[in-house]
Structure 1
Amino acid sequence: MKRKLLALILTLGMILLLSACSEEADGVSSHRNTGLDTSIKRSTDMAVSSDGTLAINRLSRGKTQAMGASGTWTIYVYMCGTDLESDGGLGTADLQEMVDATKTDRLKFIVQTGGTETWNNDIVDSSSTERFVIENQQIDKVDELKEANMGSAETLADFLDWGVQTYPAEKMGLVFWNHGGGSITGVCFDEKNEYDSLSLLEIENALTTEYSKMTDSFEFIGFDACLMGTVETANVIAPHARYMYSSEELEPGYGWDYSAIASSIEANPSITGGDLGVVVVDSFYNACAAIGSESEATLSCIDLSKIDELVYAFNDVAKNMYNASGNTDVLSGIAKGITAAENFGGNNKSEGYTNMVDLGSILKNISVDVQGTDKALSALDDCVLYMKNGSDKADSNGLSVYYPLSIQGSEELSIFKDICVSPYYMTFVDKMAYAGEKNGDLANYSDANWLGSDSAYWSDGYQENTENYWSDMVVQSDQEYNFSENESAVSFSQQPALNANGMYGFTISQDTLDYADAVYCDLFMDIGDGENLIELGLDDNVTANWDSGQFEDNFNGYWFALPDGQPLATYIVEQGNNYNIYTSPVMVNDVETNLRIRLDFQADGNYTIRIIGTWDGIDPETGQSAKEITKLKKGDLITPEYYSYNMKTDEEGTYVGEKYTFNDDPIIYEELLSPGDYYYSFQIDDIFGSSLYTDFEIFALDANGDIYFYEN
């Protein structure tokens, strides 16, 4: 590939990059009607002493007594249908599985339905909140109420109170059925109530309301939903159940196999929650394998009696993390270990952010810099009674934890402070957010809100002390990016420029190199009308020397493309040992979604690229995660979409390509881009979550694949 000089002076300010970031979320939507009973104290009290020592006190029963006859089971299913039912009939399918498999009266499924525009059966009415009993291969409606918000703690508490008192059993389980969004946005998004969801605090409140009326705990609490396999979730429900069933990642396929669950209980009514958890995990994984989606699957059975030891051990690690954060070298290693850890739900600008990161992966990655990780990993291993994860999630360890890979508004941190399992981890997260706003300057950071005599950590006065704490901070995603400032903790010893060979590069100064976390290339294309640029995406395909801090472009004129030659706007999602995962915004059959694309590197230096499927991503307003990655079907119409910018009017928007008919072959290729001008920039991410963008260099590509560059 030749690079030649064109004697032409062209410049373009960084304002063009606004098109790359205009879709960032403004923040997590608040819960409008929580239904929280503020007279109910929390079921877990986590107190921190003046020296930072953590103490955990939970509601507990000195003596337990079964609430029903020996050999009986009741599983309460809180089924918020949303689009899973209205679009796909998945709720109806699971109800049918329950009916088919419950052959005696030893097992009852007690189901509350709601939260969807329509049901795909003649039994459930979407205009009201209904309750059903499933047993003896029959489904009977036993209660009908005025339509209620399934995202409200009050609605959940009412269902639990009615269900537990009316249909108690020796062993009882509770299932949350719907979309999940992780620790911050929760589960059960009601599409008839502006997608309001149950937060972890709302779930805790409802469970605590019922606690005193029960003489035994739930045998299990499960989440047939994405992303709810988190340490924050486990910590909140620990006083209320013996086991938790949950997924760290998306739930591919059709969710849990209720036929296998019911059949196992019917065959052995004395089965424990731990043994049943093995059935739930195995049957779920097998169902995923049957449709070829097992590579992305994760599901775990968590022993909640072991959570305290994990929390204490993790707090010790977090204390060492925080105490070491004054050392730049150590802080850099910790932060890079976290951002390199397995994470779930996309976490990229095209699909949105969940900020859920695998706890075990973090502990392993930071073990060189932080003491206590071995003990915490052992405690995590004790908690995770049983789990399965696919090949694409090989670094999954059973529970994730929140970390702000990209802060989606200051409200996100405000939610986190009430569910964070460790005061030292809260302090570390807060300190990193502060540093991001201060370009790495930590000189004036104070930990008084979380440590010391005035700590607000899980105290009755947290609202007063921290209500406006983050509102004064310019958190990165609270507003649109301002590239006229374009500030970061990273600086250059050699400014971005072309060298004599036509390579575009820069050198990061040695005193800020530890602050640099990742370097990507960002490519725009001039569509040829003299006005509009479209973004082709973000990739890690740069020449990097992390020891010297020198980086250069590796632009060769080739890009991912559909078989008809249209380039795809692709954004890197995951970097594995021998593969990368990308996402590309598209419309499929005129519905907006994202293509998931996998690039596999081979031992001989070649590679293959294939489309995995489509995923709708994370809703930027509600935090709801789409349920699964969906396979394309022959005849599907794929229309590429691109973020666009008009150079004359400064308007941002979306550029739409041409429809392409999918021919059932998922293999795609890198193709030579069409002749024209291409605008190339570097995005440099620092360890505090900020990004620095270089000015554009403009390359011209001709029909022979030769690259020309413009010199200022």
Structure 2
Amino acid sequence: MKSLRKILIVFLLVSLSAFLLLGCSEDEEALAPQSDLERNGQKISFSGLSFTPWDVEEVVSQVDEQEHKPYTIMLYLNGSDLETEVGMATGDLIEIIESGFNEENINVLLLTGGTLKWQNGVIPSDTCALFWIADGDLQFIADIGQRSMGDAGTLASFIDFGMAAFPADKYGLIFWNHGGGSIAGYGVDENFDYDGLTLLELNLALEKSQASNTKLEFIGFDACLMATVETAAIAKDYAHYLIASEELEPGYGWDYSFLADLSANPQLGGAELGTIIADKFVAFYADSGEDATLSVIDLSGVDDVLQAMGNLMAACNEDFSEANFKEFAKSRKNTKVFGGGSPRDNACDMVDICDMAAQLAPYYQDEAEAVIQAVENAVVYLKSSEGVKGAAGLSTYYVFGGKEQAEKSIEIYKSLAMNPHYTNFLVNFASELTGESIAPLDLSEQIPEMNEEGDYTIQLTPEELDNLLEIYFTVWEPIPGEEEYYIMLGESSDVEIAEDGTIVTEFDGVWPGINGDFVCLYEIGRTGGGIKYAIPAVLNGEDVDIIVVFDEANPDGRIIGARPLSGETGMAAKNMHKINKGDRLKFLYYAEYFGEDESMELEEWYEGEEFTVGDKLELEWLEVNPGEVYLYGFYLIDVQQNEYYTDFVEVEFIE
């Protein structure tokens, strides 16, 4: 018999055992079921959502009656680009099989789909299929036809099938793929125009499945950014625990050796099992430098979190006005953010709830403390690496960096029927954020000057400073042979603000580089006492951001890996590529034309020279070219996320 187990990581797979063709009939139509559900006193509407179930009874009838076991784990394996491009789903399947779990105590069942090309010869790419793990290998159950993994009916039918065909004392449901937080939801299907499950569609699927009658022990997301209070609010009616990450997950996702622990102790509840999963997950990435965090949330505590958030936001709404918007904006700026995007990628605007409350505590102490206490009660276990210290276990959507999509995102949020006080706050905040400028900065007279110490300065009034959130200095290098075109080497927040409003920074003519070339650095977050940057690049023909961190342990910087851009999926990338010897790499730079010829393109991305990676790829500090004229200036962001540049001063370093 041909086996997935035998091929190991090289994916030398072969064909299927007996193949049952049990696809749905051609005349099935998508449904838009009506709903009598309410949440927080608000009607939940499923109108217009696709719901196309498959014939569960017929598929169950083709399966031999299974012995009742302590656990059935259902894995919703939407491979998408993660499988097509890198074979990550296949890698995790091998990990599951090689975990050696005791099949007498647990069932592991999976639905595969969403993938243009499975990187093995067992799972079909042109249809969705059911499998289970038996006799130490992947066993085919049925072909259910090509259908979207982003259709609520596909998921609901899978849950129903798992509970009917593989009865157990407890059930766990794991979602494998991309995650995009509360607005984007879960997953993308390559075969159906990157269709995914919004949280509302997830709600529909769970409500129309047997999970509405028999609660799952846990719902887990082996996906980015799904430990949100909005996810938890939906899951609480259908499961006892939620296991998910507030942050982007590293590419290899969960460590599935936890299945052996579960089969050895099948009496484990969701909290105990979640603790094992979280510990193994974070430990797996301990040496790689990749950030990892996983929360185990007791869903019985979510209503208290929502109530406390509502009380806090009701107080905020009472005080909300254009005059004090900037104080809310400053607290938002200082709140811990997850999934931060670079200039070429998207911001998903997910923030830590406890940190959000802590930033508001100076104004609303009692309400903020109640939020923090409610989250601490609900999050029964949390494991994080050093880079995500400060994460408390539950996040929420808070519009800011993605202001261009604010109107659409707020409408999606409204449809979730979360706490009305928080929803109203988001509406008010977004209205000011995207409205007319409160106090536009006039920087026409601002040109950086050099003081006696050789530092560069600009002078702002107290009013101007009060309307600013961020101040950076930027350095621009001329492009050889391209007159009046300059590339940005990056931006740095290493500036000082004097009491009189003087902004002071220094540039000593040294800038980070790799392989003898300067690199363009964009600050994307502060983590555990350090600063994380993205370097735009192309790795083996794929657009990526090279992620680097500067902290106490790595004062000269450390390269973590290369994260692909969200691209067509629209989701934050889950996979972080390691950069290996022999890889082809070139750096990208944001370029602008500073001349007066109106026919010239004002801005573009400039490609550096491609090179082949050698034995080591390390950051280095490079001196600017003596005699070359560089541009130096300040970049400022106000409370409404409007961006400003000062005029630039020419800087020339003499050898």
Same fold (TM over 0.5): yes
The correspondence of residues 128-527 of structure 1 with structure 2, limited to 5 A, is: 128-211=127-210, 215-260=213-258, 262-289=259-286, 291-293=287-289, 296-326=291-321, 328=323, 331-371=325-365, 372-406=367-401, 407-409=403-405, 410-419=407-416, 421-439=418-436, 441=438, 489-491=439-441, 495-499=445-449, 501=451, 505-527=457-479
Q: Work out whether residues 227 and 246 of structure 2, in 8 Å CA contact, stay in contact via their aligned partners in 1.
A: yes
Structure 2 CA distance for aligned equivalents of residues 118 and 135 of structure 1: 24
Letter in 1 for 2:563: W
Q: Work out whether residues 288 and 560 of structure 2, in 8 Å CA contact, stay in contact via their aligned partners in 1.
A: no
TM-score for the superposition, normalised by structure 1: 0.78
**SS of equivalent to 2:296:** strand
2:614 equivalent among 651, 663, 668:
663
Superimposed CA distance per residue, residues 142-176 of structure 1 (whole angstroms, 9 cap, x where no aligned partner): 11022111122232223223333333322111111
Superimposed CA distance per residue, residues 542-582 of structure 1 (whole angstroms, 9 cap, x where no aligned partner): 3323x443324533332221131x11111011235642111
**SS of equivalent to 2:183:** coil
**Does residue 689 of the first structure (1) align with residue 636 of the second (2)?**
no
Q: 1:283 to 1:42 in 2, by over 3 A?
A: farther
Letter in 2 for 1:108: N
Superimposed CA distance per residue, residues 408-437 of structure 1 (whole angstroms, 9 cap, x where no aligned partner): 423222212223633222222222222233
Letter in 2 for 1:515: N
Number of the residue aligned with 1:81: 79
Superimposed CA distance per residue, residues 596-642 of structure 1 (whole angstroms, 9 cap, x where no aligned partner): 1112258xxx93222121111433x5431111333322333321111
Q: 1:420 to 1:366 in 2, by over 3 A?
A: farther
The correspondence of residues 108-123 of structure 1 with structure 2, limited to 5 A, is: 108-123=107-122
Superimposed CA distance per residue, residues 229-281 of structure 1 (whole angstroms, 9 cap, x where no aligned partner): 11111112111100001011122252112222x22222222211111111111
1:650 equivalent among 596, 600, 606:
600
Q: 1:500 to 1:119 in 2, by over 3 A?
A: closer
**SS of equivalent to 1:373:** helix
Structure 2 CA distance for aligned equivalents of residues 87 and 628 of structure 1: 10
Greater mean deviation of Cα atoms: 35-44 or 213-222: 35-44
**SS of equivalent to 2:556:** strand
Greater mean deviation of Cα atoms: 228-237 or 336-345: 336-345
Q: 1:136 to 1:378 in 2, by over 3 A?
A: farther
Letter in 2 for 1:611: I
Shift of 1:112: 0.6
Letter in 1 for 2:622: E
Number of the residue aligned with 1:590: 541
Shift of 1:347: 2.9
Shift of 1:123: 1.5
Structure 2 CA distance for aligned equivalents of residues 125 and 177 of structure 1: 17
User: Alpha carbon RMSD of aligned pairs, Å?
Assistant: 2.7
Which structure is higher in RCO with an 8 Å CA cutoff and minimum separation 6? 1
Structure 1 CA distance for aligned equivalents of residues 301 and 561 of structure 2: 38
Gaps of 5+ in 2: 1-28, 44-65
Superimposed CA distance per residue, residues 278-316 of structure 1 (whole angstroms, 9 cap, x where no aligned partner): 111112122222x524x5110011100000001000111
Q: Work out whether residues 509 and 653 of structure 2, in 8 Å CA contact, stay in contact via their aligned partners in 1.
A: no
Structure 2 CA distance for aligned equivalents of residues 219 and 323 of structure 1: 40
Number of the residue aligned with 2:23: none
Equivalent pairs, count: 593
Q: Work out whether residues 105 and 135 of structure 1, in 8 Å CA contact, stay in contact via their aligned partners in 2.
A: no
**SS of equivalent to 1:497:** coil
1:542 equivalent among 495, 509, 515:
495
Q: Work out whether residues 40 and 417 of structure 2, in 8 Å CA contact, stay in contact via their aligned partners in 1.
A: no
Structure 2 CA distance for aligned equivalents of residues 560 and 500 of structure 1: 23
1:93 equivalent among 68, 91, 94:
91
Structure 2 CA distance for aligned equivalents of residues 682 and 44 of structure 1: 50
Structure 1 CA distance for aligned equivalents of residues 355 and 311 of structure 2: 17
Q: Work out whether residues 350 and 583 of structure 1, in 8 Å CA contact, stay in contact via their aligned partners in 2.
A: no
Structure 1 CA distance for aligned equivalents of residues 342 and 224 of structure 2: 17
TM-score for the superposition, normalised by structure 2: 0.84
Structure 1 CA distance for aligned equivalents of residues 219 and 513 of structure 2: 45
Number of the residue aligned with 2:10: none
Shift of 1:119: 1.6
Q: 1:72 to 1:40 in 2, by over 3 A?
A: farther
Shift of 1:341: 2.2
**SS of equivalent to 1:108:** strand
